[in-house]
Amino acid sequence: MRLANKIAVVTGGSRGIGRAISLAFARDGADVVVGYRASAEQALDVRAEVQAMGRQALACKVDVSVSDQVQRMVKTTLDAFGRIDILANVAGVTVKSPLEDVSERDWDRVIGVNLKGAFLCSQAVGRVMIKQGGGNIINIGSVSGIAPHPNRGAYGPSKAAVDMLSKVMAVEWAERNVRVNTIHPGATETEMTKSVYPTQELRARREKTIPLNRFGAPEEVAAAAVFLVSDDAAYITGHSLVIDGGFQNSLFQLIG
């Protein structure tokens, strides 16, 4: 097991990609803290699944955009396990709206969770990792942060900024043995994606833009996360890994 005896914190760990990452970390030997904001029942289900694998697990309620709650999550983890070896910043929100209609409230919410949340969690856990001699951080970005995605006026900028945040952390903390990488998923089978593509027609149009002609599975993103936080990726930091079925290279897919 590549993550044996590691302690992992996964924000947004109760659903979608976060759930898949929580379970993948446990399957590879890590004890897991499942961070969640509203879905307590789902978080407890993930905790139970992790424990069924013979690993320890906690479910911790946290709004990642609020510093005091992030600090409490870190303290809870340290009180229980004494260290943090892995952080996966998965918690995220989106608002589907033309740019001219994005409200200040929605902008602040998306930037607050996606960017500020990644910063607060990474800073708080990064301090722990620096003190203990090392660790690994994964930030979940999006293909919407690489190329403009219509009607994602707040989401795309937030994910683009997360990518740069990761690179800054990777460079600053490399000499402290803290590696930081970003995963940019394309369309993935999650509740968020279903809300963005609520009809079969919309889904079919989106799939047509993907050379592999399907949405990704959360487990496929989770497999990459396990690799990046394992010793197999010991010489990888500041990297942006796109997992999108070829979407970023699919210009001619639209006219083929």
Domains of the chain: 7-254 (3.40.50.720)
Please report the pLDDT score of residue 206 as a whole number.
87
Per-residue pLDDT tens digits for 230-243 = 999 999 999 999 99
DSSP lists the bridge partners of residue 242 as 184
> Do 3 and 30 meet the contact criterion of CB atoms below 8 Å apart?
yes
* 252 has pLDDT over 80: no
195 pLDDT band (50/70/90 cuts)?
A: confident
> What distance in Å separates the CA atoms of residue 36 and residue 41, rounded to the nearest whole number?
10
User: What's the distance, CA 16 to chain centroid?
Assistant: 10
CA neighbor of 58 nearest in space, from 123, 72, 195: 72
Judge whether 26 and 51 are in contact, CB under 8 Å.
no
Summarize pLDDT for 36-81 with one digit per residue, the tens: 999 899 999 999 999 999 999 999 999 999 999 999 999 999 999 9
Q: What is the DSSP letter of 45?
A: H
Unique residue bearing structure tokens 């998306």: 110
pLDDT at 63: 98
Three-state SS at 157: helix
Sheet holding 135-140, edge to edge: 57-61, 31-36, 7-11, 86-89, 135-140, 178-185, 240-243
pLDDT-derived band at 200, boundaries 50, 70, 90: confident
3-state secondary structure of 204: helix
pLDDT at residue 151, as a whole number: 86
Q: What residues are annotated to the active site?
A: 155
pLDDT band at 172 (very low <50, low <70, confident <90, very high): very high
